Amino acid sequence: MNKTENTQIKQNEEKAEERDLKELLRSRIKDIDSIPTIPAILRPLLHYMEQTVDQIEVQKIVELVSCDESITAQCLHMANSPLFGRTHEVDTVRGAVIALGVRKLRDILLSCLLVRLAPKERWAMDPVIFWQHSFGCALVSRQFARKINYHDPERAYLAGLLHDLGEVVNCIFLPEEFRATVEKACTEQLPFFEAEQATLGLTHCDSGKMLAQHWGLAEELTSVIFYHHDVEQAKLHPVLVAIVSLSDTLCRMRGLGYGFYEPKQTDFLDDPAWRILTREYPHMAEFDLARFTFELDEYTLQVRELVSSIFSKGS
Amino acid sequence: MPCRLRRRWLLRVSDGIDGPLLGSKGAPQLTHGELRMRTETAVPAENWRRLGKAPDPYLQRIRDVVYQVAGIFQSDENLPFLEECARKRMQAVDANSLRQYYDRLTVRRDREAELHRLVGEMNLGETCFFRNPLQLEALRRVVLPAICQDKNRPPCHHVRVWSAGCATGEEPYSLAMSLMETMEAEETLQEWTFEVLATDWNNGFLEKAKEGIYSLHALRHVPPSLQQKCFRPCRDQFQVTDEVKAMVSFHPLNLLEEHSVSWAKDMDAIFCCNVLIHFDGSAQRQTIQRFHDSLLPNGYLFVGNSESLYGVSDNFRLVHFPGSTAYRKVCLQSPAAGVI
Ligand SMILES: C[S@@+](CC[C@H](N)C(=O)[O-])C[C@H]1O[C@@H](n2cnc3c(N)ncnc32)[C@H](O)[C@@H]1O
Ligand SMILES: [Fe+2]
Ligand SMILES: [Fe+2]
């Protein structure tokens, strides 16, 4: 057998392995609803809150949330954080709705729901770092969306929060394999999706999409989850994908990244996502990115504080 | 070609070691007391949002004018500090409210002078070693590898960095230490040479810089390994070692005098931190244009933390590194420029 044939066989084997891993993941994801650590109200609440704000009824939220004590507690903890601009202490979910409004409460609830997704032990990633990144990306996406007059900043928040959902999937369903990925990423200071490609042959974009489809998440969220590292390929909702993708990079450049120094230089004007937005919003040409960057630093500290306090409470 | 130019430049620099290369007329002679130390970030008394109190809208407007004119941004978190400074100025100019003071900064004929007095009140004068560690990290881990890769073809193994507005030397020495450390750690850089040109218009500062003696307080951000290697005790203070000193040359230079910077050519990177904020718009633009001329293609310009060149120049592009930013020279003759 000659050398080319040999490599051919090897490549085929690798392809088969990749397929197997994808199949394996797909079959494991089906079991997600029976995992005891994942709160039962997650799915109904997520679906309920995917609606536009004016369709959401306060009473219904209060009912859903009150079913789960620890979510209630965590939600109040967040509602009292300065990040949500609270003006006085709130101690009930209803009080929080009144003080903050449905919109903010929805953000808070979704954030704590997702934090609950993380298995408490044996997580390949540091959950604090992961949630700081996701939460930071949500806030930055919303702020960015507002700045450029994107019509639905709340959508951007949700999309930012969920964009790396696939990392959670990898942690839960491929715990051993993913541990090797994380190690490679940290030692070689690689972006996760590159390390995933090298070690798993699939990325968190693939696994995130599987869960998004299993849960029946909205099309634009699925698009963000799947394309945020390959924006040019996004046929559906490219603007939202671009907003989240840029926010993701900004977070990584401003201390809410993977938890290690990524030795790289980013010229946002060269980023395909930036080009997509410039096409859509001509006023992007005047965007003051330097100032926006400084403004975001305001969040960094508060996001850090909030997420670590959530975790140190052991909830 | 650039290498020859570089050698000529080096000669001129060494020629000038003993006497000032260029006159420094117009430089204010600051007293020693004005060198006083200050903690580097403007530490807010408390956080607005934590207090649950919205900042005064006129304070936010003052923040915006300061940003537009001086190019330095005070985040919400720093607004209490900005207010403190504004209140000091308000007393001096007899303004009764932030609103009145805002008018002072925008309506009156001497508004720009008052704005610079306010910026002066912010007392960004204090400098220290490793004032912006993430900026140095970017230099070491991202910028230097990029520069060295560029310079391998054709080979020219010399890198030079300019600290413009170097004050008493902490910044250029920090640059030298960072470069030295990288050079020692990277085998591929063994045959490279590095030099730092440091300029200021204040001769008193330059004298102190050349002496290189600092208090422990100025060294507080220096990584322990470098504290050991790059300083030696000197009475109850610390002196920069000769090895580090040899990498840095100090010269008086007024950034506002056109002819004075024309010889500073072929720079790979320029650090001009917390200087431009004291200049007015046209002086900023002129200085930036000269920096552009002084830089090699693709060279980098670093400015201070929370300083911005937005609207000052189209010849530079903002680039992000983890935790810091810089401006990269745009070369108009390069093919990519057609797209911009
Ligand atoms: C705040 S210090 C900055 C020191 C150092 N770059 C840092 O960031 O820590 C500003 C320095 O700029 C110098 N400077 C101000 N105007 C200048 C001018 N027109 N030409 C040269 N230097 C000037 C001052 O003498 C002072 O030393
Ligand atoms: Fe991602
Ligand atoms: Fe991400």
Give the closest of B52, B67, B320 to A266, CB-based: B320
- Check whether residue A170 and residue A265 sit in a common domain: yes
pLDDT at residue B272 greater than cutoff 80: yes
For B296-308, write each residue's pLDDT tens digit.
999 999 999 889 9
Do B30 and B159 fall within a single domain? Answer: no
Q: What spacing in Å lies between the alpha carbon of B290 and ligand 1's midpoint?
A: 16
Based on the domain organization, do A151 and A203 belong to the same domain? yes
Q: Is B336 a member of any domain?
A: no
Q: In the predicted model, what is the mean pLDDT of residues A200-207?
A: 94
Has residue B267 got a pLDDT over 90? yes
Question: How many whole angstroms from A312 Cα to the centroid of ligand 3?
Answer: 23
**Which one is predicted more confidently, A65 or A271?**
A271
Which chain A residues touch B142 with a CB distance below 8 Å?
263-265
Alpha-carbon span A152 to A54, nearest angstrom: 13
* Of the partner residues A87, A288, A293, the one whose CB lies closest to the CB of residue B52: A87
Helix (H) or strand (E) holding B36: none
More confident residue, B252 or A102: B252
**Do B151 and B157 contact (CB within 8 A), yes or no?**
yes
How do strand B231-234 and strand B193-200 relate by DSSP bridges?
unpaired
B1 belongs to a structural domain: no
Model confidence at B12: pLDDT above 50 = no
Amino acid at the residue B235 = R
Do residue B144 and residue B115 come from a single domain?
no
Backbone φ and ψ for A296, nearest 5 degrees, come out as -70, -30
Say if residue A303's pLDDT is above 80: yes
Q: Is B308's CB within 8 Å of A87's CB?
A: no
Indicate the Cα dihedral angle A264, A267, A273, A274, nearest 10°.
160
Same domain for B224 and B140?
Answer: yes
Asked whether residue B128 is assigned to any structural domain, the reply reads no
* Domain that residue B204 falls in: 133-329
* B321–A252 CB contact, under 8 Å: no
- Does the CB atom of residue B169 touch ligand 1 within 6 A? no
CB proximity list for B262: less than 8 A, separation 6 or greater: B290, B293
Domain count, chain A: 2
- Residue in the structure block whose two tokens are 């060269």: A270
Please write the tens of the pLDDT for every residue from A79-128: 777 777 666 677 777 887 777 777 777 777 877 777 777 666 667 888 88
d(CA B8, CA B26): 28
B41 falls in which pLDDT band (50, 70, 90)? very low
Range of the domain at A76: 39-116
Single out the residue in B122, B156, B188 at which a domain terminates: B122
Task: Tell me, yes or no, whether B80 and B160 share the same domain.
Answer: no
Please count the residues of chain A.
315
- Domain co-membership, B169 together with B290: yes
- B176 and B150 co-located in one domain: yes
Quick: pLDDT tens for A24-45. Answer: 888 888 777 666 666 667 777 7
Angle, CA B222 vertex, CA B221 and CA B228 arms, to 5°: 145
Which among A116, A131, A159 is the end of a domain? A116
Residue of minimum CA distance from atom 27 in ligand 1: B167
**Does this model's pTM top 0.80?**
yes
Task: Choose one of B97, B122, B147: the last residue of a domain.
Answer: B122
For residues B32 and B155, state if they share a domain: no
Q: Do A55 and A158 lie in a common domain? A: no
CB B215 within 8 A of CB B127: no
**Is A250–B320 a contact, with Cβ atoms under 8 angstroms apart?**
yes
Question: Does B307 sit in the ligand 1 pocket, CB within 6 Å?
Answer: no
Tally: H helices and E strands in chain A: 15, 0
Judge whether residue B9 has pLDDT over 80: no
User: Contact, A134 vs A114, CB < 8 A?
Assistant: yes
Residue A267 lies in a domain: yes
pLDDT over threshold 50, residue A159: yes
- Whether residues B312 and B202 share a domain: the answer is yes
Write out the two tokens for B298: 């693709």
Rounded Cα gap, residues A170 and A210, in angstroms? 11
Atom of ligand 1 lying closest to residue B30 CA = 25
List C-alpha distances in Å: B104 to A12, B73, B86, B99.
74, 19, 11, 9
Question: How many other C-beta atoms can be found within 10 angstroms of the C-beta atom of residue B266?
Answer: 18
A81 with A152, same domain: the answer is: no
Q: What is the CATH number of the domain that holds B156?
A: 3.40.50.150
Q: Cα separations (Å) of A225 from A159, A190, A220, A244, A275?
A: 8, 19, 9, 9, 20
Q: Whose CA is nearest to atom 13 of ligand 1?
A: B165
What pLDDT sits at residue B253? 92
The two three-digit tokens of residue B280, written as one number: 């007015």
Contact B317 A269 (CB under 8 A): yes
Please answer yes or no on whether B308 and A294 come within 8 Å at the CB atom: yes
CB count in 10 Å sphere of residue A29:
18
Number of domains composing chain B: 2
Order of strands across the sheet that contains B237-240: B213-214, B237-240, B231-234
Instruction: Please give the residue that has the higher pLDDT: either A131 or B339.
Output: A131
Residue A261, SS3 per DSSP: coil
Residue of B nearest to A300 (CA): B323
- Which domain-ending residue is among A116, A141, A174? A116
Residues B322 and B203 in one domain: yes
Q: What is the pLDDT of residue A297?
A: 86
Q: Looking at the domain assignment, is residue A309 inside a domain? A: yes
Whether residue A11 lies inside any domain: the answer is: no
Q: What distance in Å separates the CA atoms of residue A75 and residue A65, rounded to the nearest whole number?
A: 9
CA A108/CA A86 separation, integer angstroms: 12
Nearest alpha-carbon partner for A229 in A207, A210, A244, A214: A244
Are A130 and A110 within one domain? no
Instruction: Report the alpha-carbon distance of residue A69 to residue A47 in Å, rounded.
Output: 20
Q: Is B337 part of a structural domain of the chain? A: no
User: pLDDT confidence of A71, banded at 50, 70, 90?
Assistant: confident
B74 Cβ inside 6 Å of ligand 1: no
B256 lines ligand 1 (CB under 6 A): yes
> Both B142 and B231 in a single domain?
yes
Q: Is residue A14 part of a domain?
A: no
CATH no. for residue A274? 1.10.3210.10
Confirm whether B63 is domain-assigned: yes
| pLDDT value at B47 more than 50 | no
> Same domain, yes or no, for B265 and B117?
no
Q: Are residues A102 and A143 in the same domain?
A: no
C-beta of residue A152 within 8 angstroms of C-beta of residue A196: no
The closest ligand to the CA of B302 turns out to be 1
Of B93, B122, B151, the residue at which a domain comes to its end is B122
> Which letter does DSSP use for residue B77 in this model?
G
pLDDT at A72: 78
Residue A8 forms part of a structural domain: no
Do A155 and A264 lie in a common domain?
yes
Mean pLDDT of B230-244: 95
Residue with tokens 């309506």: B107
Which range among A50-64, B49-63, B108-122, B267-281 has the greatest average pLDDT? B267-281
* B264 burial type by CB count under 10 A (0-12 exposed, 13-18 middle, 19+ buried): buried
How far apart are the CA of B203 and the centre of ligand 1, in A?
12
Boundary residue ending a domain (A81, A116, A151): A116
DSSP B317: E
Q: How far is CA B66 from CA B107, B256, B283, B325, in A?
A: 14, 21, 16, 20
Q: What angle, rounded to 10 degrees, do the helices at A165-173 and A3-29 form?
A: 100
Mark whether A275 and A180 lie in a shared domain. yes
Q: Are residues B149 and B118 in the same domain?
A: no
On whether residue B338 sits in a domain, the answer given is no
Q: How far is A269 from chain B (nearest CA, A)?
A: 8
Query: What ipTM describes this predicted complex?
Result: 0.85
Q: Helices H, strands E: what count in chain B?
A: 14, 10
d(CA B115, CA A50): 48
Q: Is the dihedral of CA A267, A270, A275, A278 positive or negative?
A: positive
Any domain includes B247:
yes
A239 and A165 housed in the same domain: yes
Residue of A nearest to B318 (CA): A267
Return the sign of the alpha-carbon dihedral for residues B208, B212, B217, B223: positive
Pair A214, A127 in one domain = yes
Most confident of A266-275, A292-301, B141-150, B258-267: A266-275
Cα(A253) to centroid of ligand 3, in Å? 11
Residue entry with tokens 């004050």: B167
Q: Is residue A249 one of the residues assigned to a domain? A: yes
Residues of A with CB under 8 A from a CB of B: 82-83, 85-88, 249-250, 252-255, 257, 261-269, 288-291, 293-295, 297-298, 301-302
B47 to chain A: nearest residue by CA? A82
Closest residue (by CA) to atom 2 of ligand 1? B125
Q: Is A290–B67 a contact, with Cβ atoms under 8 angstroms apart?
A: no
> Same domain, yes or no, for A110 and A163?
no
Best of B320, B334, B339, B340 to mutate (most A CBs within 10 Å, chain A): B320
* Res A26: pLDDT: 86
Q: Assess if residue A252 is contained within a domain.
A: yes
CB contact under 8 A, B52 and A265: no
Ligand 1 near B254 CB (within 6 A) = yes
Evaluate whether residue A179 is within a structural domain. yes
CB contact under 8 Å between B323 and A265, yes or no, is no
Sign (positive/negative) of CA torsion B116, B315, B308, A275?
positive
Least confident of A141-150, B30-39, B195-204: B30-39
Which residue's CA is the closest to the ligand 1 atom numbered 16?
A: B275
Do A224 and A166 lie in a common domain? Answer: yes
User: For A255, which of B309, B323, B325 is closest by C-beta distance?
Assistant: B323
Give the distance (Å) from ligand 1 centre to CA of residue A78. Answer: 44
Is the CB of B75 less than 8 angstroms away from the CB of A253?
Answer: no
Query: What 3-state class would DSSP assign to B231?
Result: strand
Residue B335 maps to a domain: no
Residue among B41, B170, B201, B207 to mutate when testing ligand 1 (max atoms within 8 A of CB)? B201
> Above 60 in pLDDT, residue A219?
yes
E strand residue ranges, A70-116:
none
